[in-house]
Structure 1
């Protein structure tokens, strides 16, 4: 048996080229076989097709057709975020240029736990993270796997800044990763304030900060998961300043509005935060993962420092080799910043801003179609790209069943959100190629699936 080829090194490109043709053909054929936004038949049917395609997971003798067969099976059974009718979640179709850059990152395989494993990648990460942090009005940023890790790091930094304990204060619509992080870090039970309108009410927050004692961390949200709403950030920032309270803003969803001259004003107040969560694998069209945590005070990152002689020996650091173990709680890390750097450089602020403006306009167009539809109710005008709606007069059980029917049949993927005591269908429109006809088709599917 010949030795398998490597992806990097002088022969890497030659070895990869025919494999890339195999992958691209399998993706094409798998997408055609699926024929829609997601596979039909529900979980049992998909699991059966995957089991049939895989067969023996670890055979005695290898199968040279495994790459084609498994990529085809995965594509056929995928929920395709590039399909206009796949709009359930904050799950974006990645840009081709970002995906190509991600291939290069995988082939080169730098590991950002020491400089000698990632010389260029570590320099690129330092440059790009500072630039993105400055966009938020803060000083530096760490690369994370997404909002969950970023939010947990924000609570960790707050805890350490306050001597080992801090209490989280957030609205009921805040991302669940915040309250989960408080539990994981052994913090006091969070104070979760009611948010009848879906956002954090400044008067309610002021009252809570007036009566609560001890170190506090207020977490505001710029782009809620359920409805894409943005808390009144300037008012919240002013209250935190008045009460001497630390502020974290979870802008995992809405943060990329910074690239849009038309929508950037919606993030006024972001620069007042101590920490800010960003996710470019949502409204930034990056392959997962592409998260960031921006920080106002880089000296606080010292609490992440760990020393191990084979990675960041003191004499190496004194000699000028960067210490990467203070840049993440993880040790081995991919160069996820490469795809983001390529995207920023390729599209520029104008190109990214145009994409953001387009999907926001698409959401408003979709909301207008629902508003004028005789048998559908619109929750509200969208702030970002999330639109909530439901059939007029339907029960919550009917709404839930309608969504599951569309999923089971593979015809459309819509999310769900419970607001104001009712269950709503949720369309999260992140596809810049979605057209008016696609939106009309989606409403026809909903109308045709609703029990008479």
Structure 2
């Protein structure tokens, strides 16, 4: 258990070395970065808002985030007793800088925290981080970036430029449960300066007595909002030692490349439509063309039925997402998020025929249901 040094000295050393490497992954503005381990992206976002709240002065912290933000940002604000986050409109799945600027102007005088996203849940989009950082600085707002999904792009020299601007954040959420292939829990909260973690400090004599700390025993209790916790850094350390940064980069690049190839296959298929704007990191949104031949409501019902048919028959597990269709309308899309480092494009192509066959079936069943429904004017009154 990682609640005191004497219970986990070897694990404590491994965590210290591992988090030091993770902290250096994204060069922050301060010279003393740190990256404590969390249970996942939700806890990382919670702790990030907690630390921002403790740094705020002159009134309650106001959180400003995009409509694309992870639900945990809103939950964290509620749990911490903060005002509900101000939600900023998005354009093509990314936070709109002009709308962000207006929102911050309207909250002038309050301590502010901007939460941007690098790898949204629905579309895999990355907010315009450089511009977001400039706007936040102009309004003297703190900046937190939720990079739970997109953070591992930093392993790759080729893909890391997509996260330009991340270095301006005070805190960054990572979750190696995704593009790091770690079993849960595998969250990380990178902070620009280890001193920012001071609000987590707590004294319990049986865990971190003053004299023990003064004698040089590390204080593990002040590195988490949890007390008892597993040595989750161990599995990360094993992976890093086994693969190295280059090895991890190759796996990330493979997933991104496979998603791009799968997206092109969808786009070339005569009976499927790729969501306008292309893929996001390794997330592909698409829907059968027949769903566009009926009303919006009926079309979305067909997409939802396709997912349930494939799931119930044990043929495929697809996600779902609501996103714009390129014409200003929100539609339901099937979602394939490519995270398996061994999956090849050829392994995924049979999915296209499964989707079109399920769409035909869903449309037939919907039409049959309409034909057998008794018109309201012919129904007997009770």
Q: Using structure 2 for the length normalisation, give the TM-score.
A: 0.88
Q: CA deviation at 1:374?
A: 0.5
Matched, 1:162 2:56: yes
> 3-state DSSP class of the match of 2:37?
strand
Q: CA deviation at 1:133?
A: 1.0
> 3-state DSSP class of the match of 1:277?
strand
Q: Which residue number corresponds to residue 392 of structure 1?
A: 289
Matched-pair contact (CA < 8 Å) for 2:115–2:146: yes
Q: Which residue number corresponds to residue 214 of structure 2?
A: 318
Distance 2:52 2:193 in 1: 11
Matched, 1:442 2:351: yes
Matched-pair contact (CA < 8 Å) for 2:300–2:332: yes
Q: Which residue number corresponds to residue 130 of structure 1?
A: 20
Q: Which residue number corresponds to residue 79 of structure 2?
A: 184
> 3-state DSSP class of the match of 1:381?
coil
Matched-pair contact (CA < 8 Å) for 2:61–2:111: yes
1:35-80: per-residue Cα shift (whole Å, max 9, x none)? xxxxxxxxxxxxxxxxxxxxxxxxxxxxxxxxxxxxxxxxxxxxxx
Q: CA deviation at 1:284?
A: 0.7
Q: CA deviation at 1:369?
A: 0.5
Matched, 1:148 2:30: no
Q: CA deviation at 1:187?
A: 0.1
Q: CA deviation at 1:194?
A: 1.3
Aligned alpha-carbon RMSD (Å): 1.1
Q: Which residue number corresponds to residue 355 of structure 1?
A: 251
Distance 2:219 2:185 in 1: 23
Distance 1:123 1:165 in 2: 38
Q: Which residue number corresponds to residue 372 of structure 1?
A: 268
Matched, 1:298 2:194: yes
> 3-state DSSP class of the match of 1:168?
strand
Aligned pairs for 1:193-272 (under 5 A) are 193-213=88-108, 214-272=110-168
Decide which moves more: 203-212 or 409-418. 203-212
Q: CA deviation at 1:170?
A: 0.4
Question: Where has structure 1 moved over 6 Å in runs of 4 or more?
Answer: none
> 3-state DSSP class of the match of 1:136?
coil
Distance 2:344 2:12 in 1: 40
Distance 1:114 1:345 in 2: 25
Q: CA deviation at 1:211?
A: 2.0
Q: Which residue number corresponds to residue 422 of structure 1?
A: 331
Distance 2:212 2:60 in 1: 34
Q: CA deviation at 1:263?
A: 0.3
> 3-state DSSP class of the match of 1:303?
helix
1:324-356: per-residue Cα shift (whole Å, max 9, x none)? 111001001111001111111111111111111
Q: CA deviation at 1:383?
A: 2.8
Distance 2:349 2:226 in 1: 45
1:227-261: per-residue Cα shift (whole Å, max 9, x none)? 10000001111111111110000000000000011
1:348-390: per-residue Cα shift (whole Å, max 9, x none)? 1111111111110000001101101101110031131000000
The counterpart of 2:306, out of the listed 375, 389, 402, is 402
Q: CA deviation at 1:124?
A: 1.2
Distance 1:436 1:145 in 2: 32
Q: How many residue pairs end up in the alignment?
A: 342
Q: Using structure 1 for the length normalisation, give the TM-score.
A: 0.74
Q: Which residue number corresponds to residue 317 of structure 2?
A: 413
Distance 1:115 1:122 in 2: 7
Distance 2:228 2:273 in 1: 48
Matched, 1:327 2:223: yes
Q: Which residue number corresponds to residue 60 of structure 1?
A: none
> 3-state DSSP class of the match of 2:94?
coil
Q: CA deviation at 1:167?
A: 1.0
Q: Which residue number corresponds to residue 340 of structure 1?
A: 236
Distance 1:432 1:296 in 2: 31
Decide which moves more: 434-443 or 233-242. 434-443
Decide which moves more: 220-229 or 122-131. 122-131
Q: CA deviation at 1:436?
A: 2.6
Q: CA deviation at 1:306?
A: 1.1
